[in-house]
Amino acid sequence: MTVELVRSSAHDSDVLFAARVSTQGEKTLDAAAAGTGATDRDRGLINYLMRDRHGSPFEHNSMTFYVQAPIFVFREFMRHRIASYNEESGRYREMRPVFYVPGPERNLVQQGKPGAYDFAPGTAEQTATAQWEAREIATAAYASYQRMLDAGIAREVARIVLPLSLYSSMYVTMNARSLMNFLSLRTKREGSHFPSFPQREIELVAEQMERHFAELMPLTYEAFEKNGRVAP
């Protein structure tokens, strides 16, 4: 999975001036222009906002990521209707023959009940089967796709034979509040107030986005962790 931070306007100071306008009004303009340091008072305010779930101050920022992942990951990603997406189009370009094949480290055996699944390692035979089947179907599907294109069939029709393991790419733009909501659901962490059980492939994407978030907004990220990884 590939995640790149393309551009951002995201700082802890964005949260602070947005929150303080409720009591200071136009006096916050100077702080908004100059930024602010990570004082104990700033840390306390951000923690208070996070703890008591005053969410709107966390919306006054922006992060744009470029993501490459299998289409089945994107379909889970786009369940989060709190971001802006632009994805590569199979109508307008010929899709590349890049497909996801689970590696040997991918746990394969599902255990538990719906909504709380856990996964255990597969046997060597199960891993070999998963990899062989994934490669076989991808190879056959792409050959079918090429035959349809060669016959003059439109790309938007030919693509219907391609499996969800095909890689695609997209830009996704969201603010910190939206990102924290995404992270709370798409990562599994000890200490989370509401445990989540994400599919491992989307968690790999979320983990990379989380590292960028922690670097851009360290006070906000610290409060997110401290308060059980619950989006405000």
Q: Provide the annotated active-site residues.
A: 186
Over the range 62-94, which residues count as b (16 or more CB within 10 Å of their CB) and which as e?
ebbbebbbbbbbbebbeebeebeeeebebeeee
**Are residues 110 and 200 in contact, defined by beta-carbon separation less than 8 angstroms?**
no
Quote the CA–CA distance of 158 and 213 in Å, as a whole number: 39
